[in-house]
């Protein structure tokens, strides 16, 4: 039974990786729209929730690096490298907190997502500061706030709507244990 479960998670992880590679094409490869809608974040969150934190963390780290190597978007340095750390933290935190949650419902899911987003954005800011340096010429606090929250607000809203909707649909089809309450 354990091997069957592991194979299932590996296949689902590969599917989320594939979705993460393809989904940004729907933003028309326009970096400004992609940085607003955050299309690679959605499959990482879902992978962490459905497959667990280990798979979410691995897929989150691999996805931006692989996409950058294949399509040069996002640029490898500093964007894809910083995103690799950010997305791995998303997958790790959302998967871990959701696994440990007492109830698997929308409230619990939203709390886990919010915590993961805050942690991931802090890690992204630290990674960008380390990669670009701190100060006027590097990565300052204004750049962090703009990149992590202001420019990303449409994507954050989309994630808070789309991911619970997907989880509800999976719960209704009994593919996952998830309830509305």
Residue 172: CB atoms within 10 A of its CB come to 12
Domains and CATH numbers, the chain: 2-24+32-172 (1.10.1760.20)
pLDDT tens digits along 44-102? 999 999 999 999 999 999 999 999 999 998 999 999 999 999 999 999 999 999 999 99
**Number of neighbouring beta carbons within 10 Å of residue 7:** 10
Beta strand extents in 28-134 (DSSP E only): none
pLDDT of res. 150:
86
Residue 90: the pLDDT is 98
The string over 78-109, giving b where at least 16 C-beta atoms fall within 10 Å of a residue's C-beta and e elsewhere, is bbbbbbbbbbbbbbbbbbbbbeeeeebbbebb
User: What is this structure's pTM?
Assistant: 0.93
pLDDT band of 30, cuts 50, 70, 90 = confident
Average pLDDT score over residue span 118-141: 85
Is the pLDDT at 181 greater than 70? The verdict is no
């Amino acid at each position: 039974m354990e091997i069957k479960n592991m194979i299932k998670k590996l296949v689902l992880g590969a599917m989320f990786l594939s979705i993460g590679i393809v989904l940004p094409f729907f933003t028309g490869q326009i970096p400004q729209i992609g940085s607003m809608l955050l299309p690679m974040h959605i499959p990482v969150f879902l992978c962490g929730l459905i497959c667990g934190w280990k798979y979410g963390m691995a897929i989150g780290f691999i996805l931006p690096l692989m996409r950058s190597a294949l399509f040069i978007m996002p640029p490898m340095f500093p964007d894809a490298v910083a995103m690799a750390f950010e997305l791995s933290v998303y997958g790790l935190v959302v998967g871990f907190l959701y696994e440990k949650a007492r109830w698997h419902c929308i409230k619990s899911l939203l709390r886990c997502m919010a915590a993961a987003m805050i942690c991931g954005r802090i890690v992204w800011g630290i990674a960008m500061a380390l990669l670009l340096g701190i100060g006027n010429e590097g990565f300052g606090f204004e750049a962090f706030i703009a990149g992590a929250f202001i420019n990303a607000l449409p994507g954050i809203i989309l994630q808070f709507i789309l991911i619970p909707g997907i989880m509800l649909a999976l719960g209704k089809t009994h593919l996952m244990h998830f309830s509305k309450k």
